[in-house]
Structure 1
Amino acid sequence: MYVIDASASSAIYVSSGICGAATTGGTAGTITILKHEYVGSACMLQFYFIPNNTVTGTTIGVGPFSSIVGEDVIVLGAQVEYAPFPTSFIVTGNGSVTRGPDRFLIPTSTWFNNTTSSWNAYFDGGRESTQGYYGRVISFAGSGTFLSTDCGNTTKIGTWNGTSNVCKDTGIDYYTMSGGAAAAYDEGMMTRSITGRGLPPVDGSYTGSYSTTGNIGIGGNSGSATNMLNGHIQKLKYYPARVLDAQLQLLTQ
C-alpha cells in the first residue's frame, strides 16, 4: 500500500491494470481524479482534493475500495486513525508492520498541578457534532477535556469534566482554519474559564475534581487506546497556576 498527502493535489504512478478502477469514497468534498495512461504498464493518477466543512478527511482508493490489501492505492488527506494501524509509512519489504495509533500522552506525576492550572493552545480540529466523537485538544482521565470543540458545532470550544460542559462561541470553524483557545481552573473557586481567539472568556461552575489525572492526552482521548487523533496541535503552553480571565483573552490573540 502507498500513502501520500492529498491535502491539495498529489500524483502517484500505478500499474495500468488498476488505473481504470480509481474510485473515491465518502462525501469529504470535491475530488477530481485525472488519469494519464502511458504506453506499457505505467499509469499516473493525479488527485485534486477540496474538503468541505462536515468531515475530517477523505480517502481515495484504487482497486477494491473495501479492503486495503494487494495492489490497492490509498490516498489520505486530513485523515484520522482508529486503533492500531496495520501498515507502516516506511517501506519495510513485502510484509506489513503493525504500529499503534498516533497518541501523545504526557505523564503528570512530577510536574502537573492538579488543583490549579491554565492551558493555551493553537490547533486545528474536526467537526465533532456530525461525526460522533469529540474534537479533543487537551484531554485527561479518559473522557475529560481541558479544551475541546465538543459544544454542538465547530464554532464553539469547551471544557468538560465528565459531568458538566462549559461552551464558548468563537466564530472560528476549526475544520477549515486553525484557532486559539485557552482554559483555566482552580479547585478553590470550582470554576473554569475558556475563551476563543481574542474573545472575552466565559466562566462556568463544574463538579468533580481534576485530581485523578494520570496522563494528559494531546489531540486525543487520554484514557483509550483506540480513540482517534482528532486535534492537530500547533502550539501548546501549560501554566501551573490559574491565569486571570483578562490574561486568558490575551493568550489567544
Structure 2
Amino acid sequence: MSVAAYLAAAGLTGSNAGADFQNDKYWLPSADALSAPRWASQTEFFALFSRASSATYIDASGVLRTAPADAPRFDYSSGGRRVLLEGGATNLIVQSVGMNSPEWSTAQIVRTFGQPSPDGQNNAVLCTVNGNVDPQVSVTLASGNPSGLTYTFSAWIRVVSRNNNELRRARLYSFGYPNGGGTEAVADVTLNITDEWVRYSWTRTFPAGMTSTLVRWRVDPFDGSDGVNQPSAGSSIAVFGWQVEASPFATSYVPTTSSAASRAADSFALPTAFGGVLSLPAASFLLRFDGSKEVGSNAYISGSDRYAGGNSSGTSVLLVGGTPNINMGNISVPTGPLGIAIGWDPGSKAGSVNNRVAVSTGTTVSINRSTNYLGRNSTGSVANSGYKLLAAYPARLSDATLQALSGT
C-alpha cells in the first residue's frame, strides 16, 4: 500500500511525517519539510532514541519481556501496541527475583521456588498455607524514614489452589518499625485476586511524624475468607515481581537481585525530518496516547518548551505552544486516553483535546524547535505513558479539523 493510500484510510490525509505505533507504520518527508511523505523504517524513526539501561515491557502474548539498553519498548499492557516511554525508577525491594534473602520472611506458609512466572521463566514462588492462623509472606526494606513520602507497591499474584473454597482474596499490609519497638502507621488494602496472573498495585502516602527506618510490605493469602484468617492447609497462591518505588503510580517492573536496582529514563528525540515539519512557520500535529497519571510540568511533545503538556498542582492543565500558552482545559489525573491536535501559523495557534472545541489565540508558537522529543521535555522530565499515534502536517489545519482529529 502506498503511503498516501494508508494515510487516507487512517484519516490522516495531509500528514507528511509521523508514526502509527499501534500498527508499526512510519513516514517522513521525501525531500524537504513541505514534500510528500515516504515510508520510513522503524530503525530510521527511532535512530535518536536512547535509554541507558535495559527495561521490561509486556509483549503481544502477555509475557513480560526485557528490552536491551537503547531499544524502544512496544508494550501491550493497555490492550494494544504502544511505544512505552517512562522516566527513571528504582525498585527498592531486594531479591525480587527469587524472594529468598534475609529481607524476606514467612509465617504459616511453605515456599516453593522455581515456579512458572509471567516472564515465561520459572521465577515465581508458590506460597502454600499450612492451616494455621494468619499466613503471610513479607519483605522488610531499610530504605529510610518514609514519613510523609509516597510509595507504590506492585506485584503479580494468582490463586493456584483453594482446598476449602476460600475467597479469591489477599490482604496487602504496610507498616513501619520505630526505633522504640512495635509497629506504626499500619494500613492495609484488600485485593480480589484471580486464577490468572494479574499485576496489582497499591499507592500509599505514609503519615508525617514517623520515626521508622524499616518498612514492611506483607501479603496475607486468602485473608478475609473466615473470621479468624485461617485458610485450609494446602491452599496456595503464586507471587512474582514485587516492586516498591517512590512514585504515585506503578511503572514497569525492575528486577532486583542482591540490592535495589534502577531503570534509566527513556529519551525519544524525534527524527530530524519530523522536526523539520514542526519548524515550519505554519504546521500542525496530532498526538494520541494513554494519557497522564501525574501532575506537574510534564511534556507530551516538546522542543525547548512544550508544544503540549500539563502544568498544575492539582489538575492536568493542557497547554499549547510555549509562551504565552493556551489552556485547553483542566482534566483530572489520571486523565485516561488523550487525543491532542495543535496547529499554528505566523498569526495564530490553536489546540483541541478529546474532540473539544478548539481554543485559539492570535499569537504563534514560540518554541526553539532544533530538537523535538516525544514524551518528555528538553531537560529530561518524562511524561510516563504509552503512545499510540503521532502525525505532523506541513500546514496550519483549521480549528474544526483540529477538533475532529483530537479524538482518542
**TM score, norm. by length of structure 2:** 0.40
Residue number in structure 1 paired with 2:379: 224
Q: Which amino acid aligns with 1:146?
A: Y
Q: Which amino acid aligns with 1:181?
A: I
State the 1:111 CA deviation: 5.5
SS in 2 for 1:249: helix
State the 1:239 CA deviation: 1.5
Residue number in structure 2 paired with 1:164: 324
- 1:136 paired with 2:299, answer yes
State the 1:175 CA deviation: 1.1
SS in 2 for 1:220: coil
Determine which of 371, 390, 397 is the counterpart of 1:243: 397
Q: How many residues align?
A: 203
SS in 1 for 2:402: helix
Residue-by-residue CA offset, 1:45-78 (whole Å, 9 max, x unaligned): x9849xxxxxxx9479xx956xxxxxxx633584
Alignment CA distance shift 1:229-1:199 (3 Å): closer
Provide the aligned C-alpha RMSD in A.
Answer: 4.6
Residue number in structure 2 paired with 1:177: 336
Equivalent residues of 1:118, 1:240 under 8 A apart: yes
State the 1:181 CA deviation: 1.4
SS in 1 for 2:334: coil
Equivalent residues of 2:152, 2:204 under 8 A apart: no
Determine which of 103, 119, 142 is the counterpart of 2:285: 119
State the 1:122 CA deviation: 1.9
Mapped partners of 1:30, 1:200: distance in 2: 39
Mapped partners of 1:239, 1:64: distance in 2: 54
SS in 2 for 1:183: strand
Mapped partners of 1:179, 1:110: distance in 2: 21
Mapped partners of 1:103, 1:28: distance in 2: 24
Equivalent residues of 2:341, 2:406 under 8 A apart: yes
**TM score, norm. by length of structure 1:** 0.60
State the 1:34 CA deviation: 3.4
Q: Larger Rg: 1 or 2?
A: 2
Equivalent residues of 1:126, 1:135 under 8 A apart: no
Share of identical aligned residues, percent? 20
State the 1:137 CA deviation: 0.8
Mapped partners of 1:100, 1:30: distance in 2: 19
Equivalent residues of 1:80, 1:228 under 8 A apart: no
**Contiguous gaps of at least 5 residues in structure 1:** 36-45, 50-56, 66-72, 82-87
State the 1:155 CA deviation: 5.5
Mapped partners of 1:208, 1:169: distance in 2: 18
Determine which of 16, 28, 32 is the counterpart of 2:105: 16
Residue-by-residue CA offset, 1:195-226 (whole Å, 9 max, x unaligned): 1211110112336744x3121111111x214x
Equivalent residues of 1:148, 1:159 under 8 A apart: yes
Q: Which amino acid aligns with 2:342?
A: A
Equivalent residues of 1:182, 1:248 under 8 A apart: yes
SS in 1 for 2:372: strand
Equivalent residues of 1:159, 1:166 under 8 A apart: yes
Mapped partners of 1:153, 1:205: distance in 2: 28
Structural mapping, 1:54-93, within 5 Å: 58=203, 64=214, 74-75=243-244, 78-79=249-250, 89=254
**Contiguous gaps of at least 5 residues in structure 2:** 1-55, 59-76, 78-95, 107-136, 155-169, 174-188, 193-201, 206-212, 216-241
Equivalent residues of 2:303, 2:373 under 8 A apart: yes
